[in-house]
Amino acid sequence: MRKPARLFASFALAALLSSSLHAARMTSLGQAREWSTLDKYQRTVTRDEFVRRLDTLYAPGGTWKDTIVLTDEAAFIRTGNGESAYRLAFAASAESAAPTPRRWRTPQEILPAATADQPLAGWFIALDPGHLGGEYGPLEGRSWRLGEGPVIQEGDLVLRVAEVLKTKLETLGARVALVRDRPGPVTTDTPESLRPQAEAWYARQHPDGPPPTPADIQKLANLLFYRVSEIRARADLVNDTIQPDLVLCLHLNAEGFPDPANPTLLEPNHLHALVNGAYSAEELTYDDVRLEMLRKLLNGSAAVELEVSAAVTASLASATGMPPFTYTGPTAVAVPGQPYVWGRNLLANRLYACPVIFLEPYVANSQAVYPRLAAEAESSEPLPDGLVEEYAQAVTDGLLALPCGLFEE
């Protein structure tokens, strides 16, 4: 933090910054962070590169312009209550840029040293099976069945994918950790312990409204548990304890049933991967979100996220023939030349400080996929020709295609 608001008097941003003199705006269970944690990125990127990353991936459509002001030499980023700003100095040129400090290594740094029979040696990969599964499937809305068929739970199926994938990657020399290695939560919070935060959240949302019903509070406490506290606990585990080079978040997609009371299988089946990006102007008004975006932008995660996503989706597409899923609207940004890869701001891909990709292959409730998932759910072991094996093998083959040199920092 270099200068107080007076510095902004000469910039158009002055009015904007002073418009927010209340306490820093924070997301639910968000942590106040020190802007000085960005000091290590001073003079690591040029102005052109900083703007390119914002405009093409992190904040397309100028959504950053309400909270970041540029001069030739530096970016001034709104902090806290808006009375001051964080000054990030640009490198004068790419040649004179300071090296980007980071704990993780890129495929380009790791893989050339690997051997022919251990082609992934030296790579430390964390696998993050999405959701909680087990007895928590119904609570998190990831549990369903068709007629008398088996119960399908995304959290359980992706845990099985993670276990099979771990064995495959270790055989090829990688070191692998599971962010969740059993059904159930990583967080030690419970819906009960989060009731005070749920009550406070309700009060913020309804400042003049009617008092909440017990069901209102229960619903919010459940959401804070499985969607917020759980992801924050996993982020702490990834950033502070596991500290991998890459995180693969394993999911299966699904489409909403047109008539949930009478579910029938759907036609579409598709595939995509997500990298961190597409922050809206509204999201960037939160102090914690703004800082977390800049950490991702400055530490160079995107080049690895894009490269791994491109390779893994190419492999999944060739193994399954699935077409790309296409987003409409501003919550996602397309990556040029990569129809399967999209940028989106999710809590996990924002909070995990190292490169992280979300895999969203297969529409679970489609005509093509459901019979395969039902067969997996009914079996105590992954099936030799089954979907779990196909998913894990395609991801493995994608990683073996790296480094592909498509996205340089």
Chain positions contacting Zn ion, by CB under 5 A: 130, 251
Q: How far is the CB of 343 from Zn ion (least distance, A)?
A: 18
223 in Cβ contact with 100 (< 8 Å) = no
**Based on CB atoms, which residue is closest to Zn ion, 140 or 288?**
140
Residue number with CB closer to Zn ion (78 or 131): 131
**Beta carbons of 61 and 330 less than 8 angstroms apart:** yes
| Cis amide linkage into residue 129, ω under 30° from 0 | no
Torsion of CA 343, 346, 352, 357, to 10 degrees: -40
Query: Residue 53 or residue 251: which is nearer to Zn ion going by CB?
Result: 251
Q: Are 344 and 357 in contact (CB under 8 A)?
A: no
Smallest distance from Zn ion to CB 372, Å: 17
Judged by beta carbon, residue 53 or residue 350, the one nearer Zn ion is: 350
Question: Least distance from C-beta 89 to Zn ion, angstroms?
Answer: 40
Instruction: Return d(Cα 158, Cα 254) in angstroms, integer.
Output: 13
Output 69 or 395, the one with its CB closest to Zn ion: 395
Least separation in angstroms between CB 130 and Zn ion: 4
Cα-Cα-Cα-Cα torsion 172, 237, 351, 195, nearest 10 degrees, comes to: 140
Q: Which is nearer to Zn ion, 87 or 251 (CB)?
A: 251
CA nearest neighbour of 310 among 163, 126, 107: 107
CA distance 85 to 4: 7
- Which residue has 């090296």 as its token pair? 99
Q: Which is nearer to Zn ion, 84 or 309 (CB)?
A: 309
Backbone φ, ψ for residue 205 (5° rounding): -75, -30
Minimal distance, residue 56 CB to Zn ion, in Å: 26
Question: How many residues does this entry show for the chain?
Answer: 409
Shortest approach of Zn ion to residue 158 CB, angstroms? 7
Beta bridge partners of 178: 127
Minimum distance of Zn ion from residue 254's CB (angstroms): 8
> Which residue number, 142 or 232, has a Cβ lying nearer to Zn ion?
142
Residue 260 vs 405, nearer CB to Zn ion: 260
- Rounded to whole angstroms, the maximal C-alpha distance in the chain is 69
State the Cα–Cα distance between residues 405 and 409, nearest whole angstrom. 10
Residue 49: how many other CB atoms lie within 10 Å:
16
Nearer to Zn ion, 292 or 360 (CB): 360
Spatial distance between the Cα atoms of 41 and 319, rounded to a whole number of angstroms: 40
Give one DSSP letter per residue of 204-226, joined into a string. Answer: HH-TTSPPPPHHHHHHHHHHIII
> Cβ of residue 296: shortest distance to Zn ion, in angstroms?
21
- The letter for the amino acid at 266 is L
CB of 87 to Zn ion, least distance (A): 39
281: closest CA among 85, 116, 62?
62
Q: How far is the CB of 357 from Zn ion (least distance, A)?
A: 13
With b for 16 or more beta-carbon neighbours within 10 A and e for fewer, the 350-375 pattern comes to bbbbbbbbbbbbbbbbbebbbebbbe
Residue nearest to Zn ion according to CB distances in the complex: 251
